[in-house]
Structure 1
Amino acid sequence: MYIRTGYTLSFETNGPTPMSLLLSVRPERRGDLRSSDVIAFDPPVPATQHLDAFGNTMTRIVAPGGPLTISADFLIEDSGLLDEAAPEARQIPPAELPDEVLPFLLGSRYCDTDKLSQIAWNLFGTAPEGWGRVQAIVDFVHNRLRFDYQLADATRSASEGYWQQVGVCRDFAHLAIAFCRCMNIPARYATGYLGDIGVPKDPAPMDFSAWFEVYLQGPEGGRWYTFDARHNKRRIGRIVMARGRDATDCALTTSFGTAILTRFEVHTDEVVGGFAHQAPRIAAAAA
């Protein structure tokens, strides 16, 4: 299947403002692109790219004073399959985990495991280890938090989400990640596109989404599996843009100075009946 996706973000700055952007498809999915996901800037600005410490493609610019619009519109091929399920996947003892996975056992800015450890063991200590324990955590978080976009809080930690019992997709992910880490299950944050493909259309405006991944021993060895505490169901068509310890590592835009968001539009739609004649117009990025 093919998915047409992209975004339009507009900012207002008071003067030259450095910005870092995690708005590109992760390198692992670049082979699936059927048109370029080049980032367009209006007015044009110079841009450079590099891979950050988590393997995300970071774009750096200096926004000029005044309005700036950042956009992309592209096609990507997807398997059309639901998130993989492996109920037999088992938990790996910390001593046997690969070195690169260990950081995802530790507390982080938004996943304050020190405040949730005893709660986690009280809640999930008797749950089956491995996949069953992760699913128990997802079920609990899904039912514990109430989704409310109007109550989004960029400073809310996992423990605060637990006690406030409200949040947006990042809060569902943070609380589930923190609980997994408390139970010695490596967990990392993921963010990207998740359109209403294979599910009823959500009347709310499309947004970027956040979910999480856990490292378990599956039939083919240790690997990362996708879970989504907000929706608590397997979904089709996730397109990852960034991964990290939590939202700190995965902020899609970061400004080093005042940059007021004035427009925010995201689209993610399945292209039905072929794609060549429906290819989007791709604006050229500034050199």
Structure 2
Amino acid sequence: MNTSPQELTIRCGFEFAYDATAWTPAILTVQPRLDPWQRKVREQMTFLPSTSVYVYEDAHGNIVQRFSLPPGRTTIRHDVFIGVPTTTDDHWLIDQPVPVQDVPPQLLRYTLPSRYCDSDRLMTFANQQFGDYADGLPRVQAICDWVHNHIQYRWGSGSPYTTASEILAQGYGVCRDFAHLAVALSRCFNVPTRYVTGYVPDVACWDPGSPMDFHAYMQVYVGHRWYTFDARFNEPRRGRINIACGLDAVDGAFSTLFGPAFLSSFFVWAYQVDPAVVNLGDPIDMSKRLDGTPTLRFSAA
């Protein structure tokens, strides 16, 4: 994606602190994916105390960092400027369903049940509720509409054990639960669908006032390309930054620890800035944000 006057700059990142009682192997999946729709402008990442980090791409194309936490506290900070287009998620949305026999072999796994997206348990409900919709985007949108309207969002209700079918039964959850249920229902109709984590800043919409966090949504493979759908907000957004994708939240976890360590502090940011005014490493100063209102604003440059 080429830089243009219509490109927005999103500053996103986090600061985590981990406390370990012994050397603990760990992996992080927090760096934005290599994607033509998001251009990395500047980036800083620090580990305190410093540690050796091995970086690789996993089977889903996510950028993963592998390292070990020493005993005591380790603080990890990531700050990045990403250039994104002003267009919304539904830009160039073309409804061309891909028959399952034409799905590329490497994408067939995204049509199958997984640990949290237990689509095999939802087949009867899915066909009764959505079977009359046209294949492709109309059915996907109907699924997102239903999840958005029938599942209640409850902050703090998330559990690492709850599956999509259990969310359907209990009727509430957090963003990962909305995504898991929408993914599982879409897979019931052989639509390649992947779970996605990322940042969703409040570009051209009101700031709801809740603490910033990572977000979960989904992408469906239609017309031989991936399109984003978000059952939690259920409206096209601008400035979305994709971090990781996979079968479900197992592949999208921002950290995985293999020993006696725990997350002791957690701070996330994602907001639009003017790169001529704000620099990487500056304090997080929300008075300098360009988003948070319904008006789409641009940098002075």
> How far 1:176 moved relative to its partner?
0.4
> Quick check: 1:8–1:264 contact (8 Å CA) kept in 2?
yes
- CA displacement 1:202-254 (0-9 Å, x = unmatched): 2110000011000112xxxx111100000000001111111111111111100
| Structure 1 residue 192 corresponds to structure 2 residue 160 | no
Write the mapping of 1:183-262 to structure 2, written as runs, cut at 5 A. 183-217=189-223, 222-262=224-264
| Structure 1 residue 53 corresponds to structure 2 residue 55 | no
- Looking at structure 2, the residues matched to 207 and 250 of structure 1 have their Cα atoms a distance apart, in angstroms, of 14
| Structure 1 residue 68 corresponds to structure 2 residue 74 | yes
SS in 1 for 2:203: coil
Which residue identity does 1:280 align to in structure 2?
A: L
> How far 1:58 moved relative to its partner?
0.5
Report the equivalent of 1:134: 140
Cα–Cα, structure 1 residues 21 and 97, in superposed 2: closer, same or farther, change >3 Å? Answer: same
> Quick check: 1:104–1:188 contact (8 Å CA) kept in 2?
yes
- CA displacement 1:172-227 (0-9 Å, x = unmatched): 0100000000011110011011111111102110000011000112xxxx111100
Q: Given the alignment, which residue of 6, 9, 31 partners 1:2?
A: 9
Note the aligned Cα RMSD (angstroms). Answer: 1.5
SS in 2 for 1:138: helix
Q: Given the alignment, which residue of 109, 120, 143 partners 2:149?
A: 143
| Structure 1 residue 269 corresponds to structure 2 residue 271 | yes
Cα–Cα, structure 1 residues 49 and 87, in superposed 2: closer, same or farther, change >3 Å? Answer: closer
Report the equivalent of 1:14: 21
> Quick check: 2:199–2:214 contact (8 Å CA) kept in 1?
yes
Cα–Cα, structure 1 residues 30 and 141, in superposed 2: closer, same or farther, change >3 Å? Answer: closer
| Structure 1 residue 94 corresponds to structure 2 residue 100 | yes
Determine which structure has greater relative contact order: mean sequence separation of CA pairs < 8 Å that are 6+ residues apart, divided by chain length. Answer: 1
- Looking at structure 1, the residues matched to 151 and 281 of structure 2 have their Cα atoms a distance apart, in angstroms, of 40
Equivalent pairs, count:
275
SS in 1 for 2:270: strand
- Looking at structure 2, the residues matched to 87 and 275 of structure 1 have their Cα atoms a distance apart, in angstroms, of 30
SS in 2 for 1:78: strand
Structure 1: state its 5+ residue gaps: 283-287
- Looking at structure 2, the residues matched to 42 and 56 of structure 1 have their Cα atoms a distance apart, in angstroms, of 24
> Quick check: 2:93–2:227 contact (8 Å CA) kept in 1?
no
SS in 2 for 1:206: coil
Q: Which moved more, 1:230-239 or 1:83-92?
A: 83-92
| Structure 1 residue 41 corresponds to structure 2 residue 41 | no
> How far 1:85 moved relative to its partner?
4.6
> Quick check: 2:38–2:241 contact (8 Å CA) kept in 1?
no
> Quick check: 1:86–1:131 contact (8 Å CA) kept in 2?
no
Identity, % of aligned pairs?
38
> How far 1:259 moved relative to its partner?
2.0
Higher share of residues assigned helix: 1
Q: Given the alignment, which residue of 34, 39, 42 partners 1:32?
A: 39
- Looking at structure 2, the residues matched to 86 and 30 of structure 1 have their Cα atoms a distance apart, in angstroms, of 13
- Looking at structure 2, the residues matched to 280 and 144 of structure 1 have their Cα atoms a distance apart, in angstroms, of 41
- Looking at structure 2, the residues matched to 84 and 30 of structure 1 have their Cα atoms a distance apart, in angstroms, of 13
Write the mapping of 1:91-130 to structure 2, written as runs, cut at 5 A. 91-130=97-136
SS in 1 for 2:162: coil
> How far 1:269 moved relative to its partner?
1.0
> Quick check: 1:47–1:60 contact (8 Å CA) kept in 2?
yes
Cα–Cα, structure 1 residues 13 and 29, in superposed 2: closer, same or farther, change >3 Å? Answer: farther
Structure 2: state its 5+ residue gaps: 1-7, 283-301
- Looking at structure 1, the residues matched to 169 and 269 of structure 2 have their Cα atoms a distance apart, in angstroms, of 33
- Looking at structure 1, the residues matched to 17 and 37 of structure 2 have their Cα atoms a distance apart, in angstroms, of 25
- Looking at structure 1, the residues matched to 37 and 167 of structure 2 have their Cα atoms a distance apart, in angstroms, of 34
> Quick check: 2:17–2:265 contact (8 Å CA) kept in 1?
yes
- Looking at structure 2, the residues matched to 62 and 30 of structure 1 have their Cα atoms a distance apart, in angstroms, of 32
